[in-house]
Chains A and B, each alone.
Chain A
Amino acid sequence: MCPKCHVSARKWQRSVEIFEYRIKPLKSKVTFDFRCKNQNADEILNFLKVLESCFKIQLRSVSVDLNNDASLVIDIPDALCERDMVKFTVHTKTTLSSFQKPDFSVPRQHEDFIWLHDTLVETEEYAGLIIPPAPPKPDFESPREKMHKLGEGEASMTKEEYAKMKQELEAEYLAVFKKTVQVHEVFLQRLSSHPVLSKDRNFQIFLEYDQDLSVRRKNAKEMFGGFFKNMVKSADEVLISGIKEVDDFFEQEKTFLLDYFSKIKDSTAKAEKMTRSHKNIADDYIHISATLNAICAEDSTANKKSLEKLSDLFEKLRKVEGRVASDQELKLTELLRYYMRDIQAAKDLLYRRARALANYENSNKALDKARLKSRDIPQAEEHQQQCLQKFDRLSESAKKELTSFKGRRVMAFKKNLVEMAELEIKHAKVSLTAHPIKHTV
C-alpha cells in the first residue's frame, strides 16, 4: 500500500459522507474537509472532479425490488476504509417497538455481515427461505495494485498524463469502494424487507448493539471446517440427486437454476472482461491524447491546430469510454454478479429441501424397518411425521420464495437493461458531439 493511500482513504470516506447526505450543503462540507488537510488548490480541484464523476455513478444500481416498508429503514451513510478493513456505519430508522430507539447508528465491519449471514443460514427455521447472499469481501487489491504500478511508471509519463491516470484510478478506487458499501447495504435492506427475516433476533442485535460485535475473524480451523462443510455438502448434493423428485415444480426449478447458474456465471465473467477492455481503451486514449498534446506543443506549423483538436477529441472520448465502462460495470456486470450469488442462494434452498426430502425418505425406510422388526414403531412414526411436516413446510415456503424470486429477477433485469441501453445511447451521443466534424444523420 502506498503511503498516500491512507490519506486518500480518509478522503474517500469524506466523499462518501458527502455523497450520501446529498441534502447537506456540499460546499461547507468540502471546505471543511480541505481545511483540515490543508491541501493545495490543484488537489482540491482534482478531488472535486473525482467527486463530480462519483455523483454521476448511481448508487442503487442493483434493484432488488424491496417492499417500501417504512417500519424499518436501514442504510449505510458512511464507511471508512483503513488498510484492508472497511468500517461501515449502519444507520437504522424504525417505528417497530422491538427496538429501543427509533433512530440509531452502529459501527460494523465486513466480518459482522458474514457472521449475520452465517447465523441466518444455520437457523433451522429459515431453511425454506432464500437467504440473501452475503456481500463479497471488499477487494481493493486491483486498483491499489494499479496505483502502485502507476507510481512506478511515473517517470515515463508526462505530468499531465500521470495526473489523468491517477484521476482515473482514483475514480475507479472510489467506484469499488462505493460498490462495496452498496452490496452491504443491499444485503441489510433485503433482510429488513423480508417479512420473516426482519424479525430475526440476531439481525436486530446486529442493528442495535452499539458496541463492537467483536466477531472474530475465522481462524484456520474454522476456515478449514467451512471448507470441509462445503465438501460434504457437494458430496451430499451428488448423493441425494438420485432421489426421485415428487414435485414437478421443483424438478423444473432445479434444472433451470442449475443451467441458469452456469450460464450467468459465464456471462458475468465475459461482461467483466468486456468492461475491462473498455477501461483499457480509455487508458489508451489518455496516453494518445497526452502524446498528441506533447507533439503539438512542439509543432509550430499549421498542423498544430488539427493536432490540438485531435488531442481534445481523444480526451473527450476517453471520458466517454470511461463512463461506458463504469456504467456497464454497474448496470450489467453488477446485476449479473448479484444474481449469480442470489441464484446460488436459491440453489442452497433447493438443496435444503432436497435434504429434507431425503430425510423423509430415510425416515420412511426406518419406519418400514421398525414395522418389520415391530420395534420402536411410534418413535419412527413420529420421526417420519416430523420429517414429512418439515419437508412440506419447506416445500411450501420454497415455492413461494422461488416464485417471488423469479419476479424480482425479471424486474431487476428489465430495469437495468433499460437503464444500460439508455446510458449507452447517451454516451454514444455525447461522443458524437465531441467530434470536431459534426454530422447530421
Chain B
Amino acid sequence: MASSSERSPPPFPESEDPEVLEAAVPDRDSDEDEADDPFLSASNTPLTRKDTPAAPASPDDSLVTSSQSEHRSASRSSEDFMDVLNISAKAALEDPADDFVDILRGGASAQRGEDDAPAEGGAADPPAAFTAPVMELRDGWSASSTQKPLVSEKIPDPLVELLGAVPAEPADIFTEEDDTMSDTRKHSVKNNGVHSAENTDIIAEATVELSLDSPRNERKKKPTPTPSLPAAASLTKPECSALEEVEEEEEDRCDISVSVTDPEKIGDGMTAYMAYKVSTETLLPMFRNKTFTVRRRFSDFLGLYEKLSDKHGPSGLIVPPPPEKSILGMTKVKVGKEDSSSADFQERRRGALERYLQRVVNHPLLLQDPDVREFLEKDELPRAVSTQALSGAGFLKMLNRATDAVSKMTIKMNESDVWFEEKLQEVESADQQFRKLHTMAESLVVHRKELSLNTAGFAKSAAMLGSAEDNTALSRALSQLAEVEDKIEQLHQDQAANDTFGFSELIADYIRLLGAVRGTFDQRMKAWQRWQDAQAMLQKKRETEAKLLWANKPDKLQLAKEEITEWEAKVTQYERDFERVSATVRKEVLRFQKEKTKNFKRQIMVYLESLLQSQQQMIKYWEAFLPEAKAIA
C-alpha cells in the first residue's frame, strides 16, 4: 500500500465525493434501522448508537455543500465537525478515545475501511472519522486548485482552536486527537499541493486508497444482499454531486490537453509496431507535473479502452472508442512500404488517437480513472495482450461479441421511456446518415487526389508544350501556366489532406462515437433484462412457496421464504441498477450531444478556413498569371 500511495497521485475529490458519501451513508442508515440489519446487530456495540443518528447527518450535508464552495462553508463544516467530535466524545463514556483512534487507524490501515469500521466498533464514529479527513482533503483540494493557499491555511486554525478549546474531561484524548487531526490536515494539504510521496500519513493514505477502490467496492457491494441499502440517498446524492462535477469540469475543460505525436515504427517484420509520443499538458494538481510525455504503442491505447469500457461501460458511460485495428494498414507499415498511402494511414490513425485521448480526458468521470492517469503518466505499461486480433483473448472477445449480438436480438424490451426510444432512433438514423456522408467524403478525397494528380499531369504537359512552342511570348505564357497548375496541384493536394483530416476523419470519429452511444443503450437494455430476469425468478420462488404452503411442508417453507427475501432484494437492487444506468445514459447522451455540437462546429470552422484559404491562394495564382496571358503577342 505504501508503494501504491507513493505512485498513485493525490486524492481526486470529484470522484471520491460520491463514493465517500455512499460509504458513509449506508453506515448512517444502518444505524437508523439497525434492528433489521442482521449484519450490524451481530457486532453489536451499544455504546453510541442512541446519540449518533443526528450527528453524522450534519457533516454529510456540509460535505456536499463544501464541495461547491470554499472557505466559509469549510469553516462551518469544521464547526460541525467539532460538534460531532464533541457529541461523540461525550457519548463515548467508557473508552471512546481508544475506539476512535482505533477506527481511524483501522480505517487507515487497510482498504477494509468501510467494511471493517462498523463491525469493529462504534457504529456512530466511522462516519465522522471518515468524513473528517475527507472533508479536510476536500478543503485542501479546493484551496490548492483555486490557487488560494490562504484558505487552506485558514482552515486549520479555527479548527485547532476549537479543538483545543473543548473543555472536556477527556482532554488528553482530544489533544492527541488534535495532533493527529492537524497532522492529517497538513499532510493532506501538502499531498494535494506538492504530492509528497514520502510523508505517509495514514489517514490521507486511507482516503486515497478508499477512493481508488471505491468504484470496485461499490460494485462488489451491490450484488450482495443489503436490504437496507438507502434507496433515496444513494440514488439522488451521487447524482447531484455528479452533476456538480460536470459543471465544475466544464470550467476546467482547458486545464488538460493531450497530444499524440511522432508515430514511429519499432522493430521489423511482422513483430513491428507503431509507437506514439503522448504528451500531456495540464494545470490539474492531480498530476505530478505540468507537462509530461510517455511513449505508448497502439495496443496500449486499445488496452486503455478495454479497461475503461469494462469498468464504466456497464454503468452507462459513453466510453470514447479508439480507432479500429487495421490489419491491412498495419501490414503495409510492417512491410515497410514508404508510400503515400501508409503515411496517410499513419496520420489518420495518429489524429484519431489524439482525438480519442482528448475525449477521454475531457470526460469528467473518466479522467478520474486511475488507468487513465497511469496511461498518461507511467513510464512503462504492462503490455495489453487482449487487444491482439489473432490472440486467444481476441477470439474470446469475438465470441463474447457474438453472444452479445445474439442476446441483443433476442431481448425484446418494451420501452417505458419515450425519451430513450426517440434517442435510440435518432442515434441510429444519424449513424446511418453519417456513414453515408463518410462514404461521400471518402470519395471526395479520392477525387480530389485524382484531380491533384491530373493537374500535375497537365502541368507537366503544359510545360512540354511551352518548350515546343516557337512563339516566345506564348511559350513563356504556357510555361507560366504550367507553373500555376503546379501550384494549384499542391493546393489540391493540401485540400485533399484537409478533406481527409478535417472532414472525413471527423465524420469517422462520430460514427465511432455513435457506436459507443448505442453501446450505452445496450448496456441499459442489459440492466433491464437482468431486472426482468430477477423478477421472473422471484415470481417462480413465490409460486414454489405457495405450493409448499399448500403441501404443508414447513421445513422447506423457511428456506423458500429466505429465498424470496433474497430475490426480492435482488429485484430491488437490479431495478435500482437499471434506473441508475438509465439516468447515467440520459446524462451521457445529453453531454454527448452538447459536446458534439460544439466540437462539430469548431472542426467545421477549421475545415472551412482551409477551403477558404485555398480559394484565396487560387485567386492569387491566377491573378499572377493573367498579365502573362495578356502579354502574348
Q: Which residues of A contact B (CB under 8 A)?
A: 256, 259-260, 263-264, 266-267, 270-271, 273-274, 276-278, 280-281, 284-285, 287-288, 291-292, 294-295, 298-299, 301-303, 306, 310, 313, 317, 406, 410, 413-414, 417-418, 420-422, 424-425, 428-429, 431-432, 435-437, 439, 441
Contacts and interface: CB of A to CB of B under 8 A. Distances in A.
B65 interface: no
Interface string B463-481: 0110011110110011001
A432 B429 contact: no
Given A288-B444, A295-B430, 11 more contacts: A264-B465, A273-B457, A274-B458, A284-B440, A287-B440, A291-B433, A410-B471, A414-B629, A417-B477, A421-B629, A439-B612
Nearest to A422: B626
Contact of B447 (A280, A292, A418): A280
Contacts of A410: 471, 473-474, 632-633
* Chain B interface SS verdict (over half): helix
Interface stretch (B69-77, B243-251, B597-605): B597-605
A260 B462 CA distance: 11
B434 interface: yes
A24 B457 CA distance: 44
A303 B596 contact: yes
B618 A424 contact: yes
27 contacts: A260-B468, A260-B469, A266-B464, A271-B461, A277-B447, A277-B451, A278-B451, A280-B451, A281-B447, A288-B440, A291-B436, A295-B434, A299-B430, A301-B596, A301-B597, A302-B597, A303-B600, A414-B629, A414-B630, A414-B633, A417-B477, A422-B626, A428-B618, A428-B622, A435-B612, A437-B605, A437-B608
Contacts of B469: 260
Nearest to A259: B468
Contact of A281 (B429, B448, B625, B626): B448
Which of A281, A420, A432 lies at the interface centre, i.e. has the most chain B CB atoms within 10 A of its CB? A281
Contacts of A277: 447, 450-451, 454-455
B603 to A, nearest CB: 10
B616 interface: yes
B608 A273 contact: no
A264 B633 CA distance: 20
B441 interface: yes
Given A267-B465, A428-B615, A435-B611, A291 B440 contact: yes
B440 A273 contact: no
Contact of A414 (B470, B593, B625, B632): B632
B461 A267 contact: yes
Of all A-B residue pairs in the complex, the 3 with the closest CB atoms, nearest first, are: A277-B451, A414-B632, A270-B458
Interface of B: 426, 429-430, 433-434, 436-437, 440-441, 443-444, 447-448, 450-451, 454-455, 457-458, 460-462, 464-465, 468-471, 473-474, 477-478, 481, 593, 596-597, 600-601, 604-605, 608-609, 611-612, 615-616, 618-619, 622-623, 625-626, 629-630, 632-633
Nearest to A293: B433
Nearest to A261: B468
A418 B468 contact: no
Contact of B433 (A259, A295, A413, A436): A295
Given A291-B437, A295-B434, A439-B616, A281 B451 contact: yes
A237 B611 CA distance: 52
A270 B436 contact: no
Contacts of B433: 291, 294-295, 298
Given A263-B461, A267-B458, A288-B441, A425 B468 contact: no
A36 to B, nearest CB: 39
Contacts of B600: 303, 306
A260 B625 CA distance: 23
A256 B471 CA distance: 11
B468 A263 contact: yes
A266 B451 contact: no
Nearest to A265: B461
A297 B629 CA distance: 47
A425 B478 CA distance: 18
A288 B468 contact: no
A46 to B, nearest CB: 23
B604 A310 contact: yes
Nearest to B435: A291
B632 A421 contact: no
Given A298-B426, A298-B433, A428-B619, A284 B630 contact: no
A261 to B, nearest CB: 9
Contact of B454 (A274, A425, A441): A274
B626 A441 contact: no
Given A298-B429, A422-B626, A436-B608, A284 B444 contact: yes
